[in-house]
A and B are shown apart, each in its own frame.
Chain A
Amino acid sequence: MRQRPLSPHLDIYRFAYTMATSIAHRITGVILTAGFGVLIYWLVAAASSAESYAAAQTILGSTPVKLLLVGWLLAFCYHLFNGLRHLNWDLGRGLERHEARRSARIVIIATVVLFVLFAARAFASGVLS
Chain B
Amino acid sequence: MSLQSPLGRVIGRGSAKQGVSHFWVQRVTAVALVPLTLWFALRVTGLPDYEQETVRAWIATGWHPVWLILLIGTLAWHSALGVQVVLEDYVHEKGIKLAALVTSNFLHVLAVVAGAYAVLRVAFTFTAG
Q: Within 8 Å of chain B (Cβ to Cβ): is A116?
A: no
Please state if B115 and A127 are interface contacts (CB–CB under 8 Å): no
Q: Within 8 Å of chain A (Cβ to Cβ): is B45?
A: yes
Please state if B119 and A43 are interface contacts (CB–CB under 8 Å): yes
Which B60-111 residues have a C-beta within 8 angstroms of A? 68, 72, 75-76, 79, 82-83, 86, 107, 111
Please state if A33 and B31 are interface contacts (CB–CB under 8 Å): no
Q: With a CB–CB cut-off of 8 A, which chain B residues contact A40?
A: 72, 111, 114-115, 118
Interface size on A, residues (CB 8 A): 34
Q: With a CB–CB cut-off of 8 A, which chain A residues contact B50?
A: 57, 61, 126-127
Task: Determine the main DSSP class of A at the interface with B.
Answer: helix
Interface size on B, residues (CB 8 A): 36
Residue in A closest to B58 when the chains form the complex, CB atoms: A46
Task: Determine the main DSSP class of B at the interface with A.
Answer: helix
A30 CA / B80 CA spacing, docked (Å): 10
B interface residues, Cβ below 8 angstroms from A: 27, 30-31, 34, 37-38, 41-42, 44-50, 52, 55-56, 59, 68, 72, 75-76, 79, 82-83, 86, 107, 111, 114-115, 117-119, 121-122
Please state if B118 and A125 are interface contacts (CB–CB under 8 Å): no
A interface residues, Cβ below 8 angstroms from B: 26, 29-30, 32-33, 36-37, 39-40, 42-44, 46-48, 50, 53-54, 57, 61, 73, 76, 80, 83-84, 86-87, 90, 118, 121-122, 125-127
